Amino acid sequence: MLNIILFGAPGTGKGTQSKNIILKYHLVHLSTGDIIREEISKCSPVGLIAKTYIDQGLLVPDSIIIKQLFYRASRFEKPNGFIFDGFPRTLNQAEILDKTLNKKGYPVSMVFYLDVSEEELFKRIMCRSLHSNRADDNEKIIHKRIEVYYKETQPIIKFYEKQNKLITIKGMDSVDIVSGLISEEIDKYIDKNNLLLY
Ligand code: AMP
């Protein structure tokens, strides 16, 4: 199995890159942001709780996110692998993901850190806000989301660095260039590990 984490601050292009990767390698896309937005649109109890956090630019509690993620993942039988987009976002989430996947014998394969300057992040999300219809894509909340990223999410980088799984990709380039760099690394990994994907 090929389990990939796309890691980076809000606005680094994780969603866009995920779409390219799933098309090429037929992986299952698990975006915790999308999962939560779906729950909110259904007005489910989980969605209603999560909305109170998202609307403030805060992280949804680990207990909710982890349960939702593993429930969605369990619906797929023998996929080529997963692409985790927006997860993990706390050290606790990273540790639980590792423990769960290791136990199943399908550990995290590689972690792509999309590195984009703070100024560019802000510009990108403001631009996205023109058509995204996302309540959290507004100036005040964007600042909070970026602040939360640096405080709670960025420390995860070291966790994967220690495992030699982190690959830093300069995310400032065009979508196609970034996509090409990611594919190159994935192809190398597939060759080296003799993975067979269908
Ligand atoms: P995203 O679409 O990935 O930018 O996520 C939008 C919002 O959903 C975030 O600002 C958080 O409030 C919430 N969220 C998404 N993924 C997670 C996660 N792994 N842990 C906690 N909250 C999350």
Q: Using H for helix, E for strand and C for coil, what is the string for 3-72?
A: CEEEECCCCCCHHHHHHHHHHHHCCEEEEHHHHHHHHHHCCCHHHHHHHHHHCCCCCCCHHHHHHHHHHH
Dist. CA 75–CA 85, nearest whole Å? 17
Residue from 16, 54, 143 to probe ligand 1 pocket by mutation (most atoms less than 8 Å from CB): 54
Residue 41 is predicted with a pLDDT of: 95
Ligand 1 pocket by C-beta < 6 Å: which residues? 10, 32-33, 36, 53-54, 58-60, 65, 86-87, 89, 93, 136, 145
| Residue carrying the six token digits 């996302």 | 134
Tokens of 32: 């915790």
Dist. CA 157–CA 168, nearest whole Å? 10
Atom of ligand 1 nearest to the CA of 86: 3
Dist. CA 157–CA 150, nearest whole Å? 11
Atom of ligand 1 nearest to the CA of 69: 19
Nearest-10 crossing angle of helices 45-54, 32-41 = 120
Report the catalytic residues: 14, 89, 128, 134, 145
Residue 122 is predicted with a pLDDT of: 87
- 156-183, pLDDT tens digit by residue? 999 999 999 999 999 899 999 999 999 9
Atom of ligand 1 nearest to the CA of 14: 3
Which helix (H) or strand (E) is 169 found in, with range? strand 166-170
The pTM for the full model equals: 0.95
Regions of the chain short of the pLDDT cut 70: none
- Contact by Cβ (8 Å): 60, 54: yes
32 C-alpha to ligand 1 centroid (Å): 6
Residue 78 is predicted with a pLDDT of: 85
33 C-alpha to ligand 1 centroid (Å): 5
Residue 175 is predicted with a pLDDT of: 94
Residue 133 is predicted with a pLDDT of: 80
Tokens of 12: 């680094």
Residue 86 phi, psi (nearest 5): 90, 10
Which helix (H) or strand (E) is 139 found in, with range? helix 139-148
Residue 132 is predicted with a pLDDT of: 82
Residue 113 is predicted with a pLDDT of: 97
